[in-house]
Amino acid sequence: MRAPRGPLLAFAVFGAYWGAWGVLVPAVKEQVGVSLAQLGLALLAVALAALSAMLVTGRVVDRVGPRILPLTLVLFAGAVVLPGLAGSVWQLALALVVVGLASGALDVVINVAATNVETSGGPRVMQVAHASSQPGSSPPPWPWASRGEQGRGRCRSSP
């Protein structure tokens, strides 16, 4: 059985964004003209909003399942452009709240989608999915996942 690529690709998109964001933070700081303290507070908005979204999204996914993955990806894609449009610390903080909400929701949905693949008799994809979301994971582990070979001795420690 082929590993479903939807959850794997969603994890990769999620990781690619956060890897790129880490590189772009200094440029956004300069663009908006905020101090390190102001930037730190604005970045805190991501975490607080994500946590809130995770709690709500968990309840939503309990009702409708992971079929909301495409919608959540679209919302995330729309949200992640907002910090680049910010011109003040308040705009940046608001943009990062929206990013946090979308990120928290997407995080829950992609994990549920990967879990559902496994619990419905599909291949084990959770480890591969999380590995593909890590910035700098090159090459992505998808070729092995599509053949169902994850967890079968691919990584060996040296003697």
Distance CA 84, CA 121 (A): 42
Confirm whether 119 is domain-assigned.
yes
Distance from C-alpha of 9 to C-alpha of 90, rounded to nearest angstrom: 33
- Residue 148: inside a domain: no
- Pairwise CA distance, residues 146 & 1, whole Å: 8
Query: Is 73 part of a structural domain of the chain?
Result: yes
Q: Which tokens belong to 62?
A: 């309990």
User: Residue 129: its pLDDT value, please?
Assistant: 64
CA–CA dist 86, 96 (Å, integer): 10
Q: Tell me if 148 sits within 8 A of 3, measured CB to CB.
A: yes
CA-CA distance, 122 to 130, in Å (whole number)? Answer: 17
Residue 154 is assigned to a structural domain of this protein: no
With H, G, I as helix, E, B as strand and everything else as coil, classify residue 117. Answer: helix
Range of the domain at 74: 5-136
Query: pTM value?
Result: 0.77
Q: How many structural domains compose the chain? A: 1
Tell me whether residue 114 is in a domain. yes
Q: How confident is the prediction along the chain (159 residues), in pLDDT tens digits per residue? A: 445 777 778 888 888 888 888 889 999 999 999 999 999 999 999 999 999 999 999 999 999 988 898 899 999 999 999 999 999 999 999 999 999 999 999 999 988 988 887 777 776 777 666 666 665 444 444 454 444 444 444 444 334
Structural domain includes residue 102: yes
Q: What are phi and psi of 126, to 5 degrees?
A: -60, -45
Residue 150 maps to a domain: no
Instruction: Determine if residue 121 is left, alpha or beta; phi over 0 gives left, psi from -120 to 50 gives alpha, anything else beta.
Output: left
Residue 146 within any structural domain of the chain = no
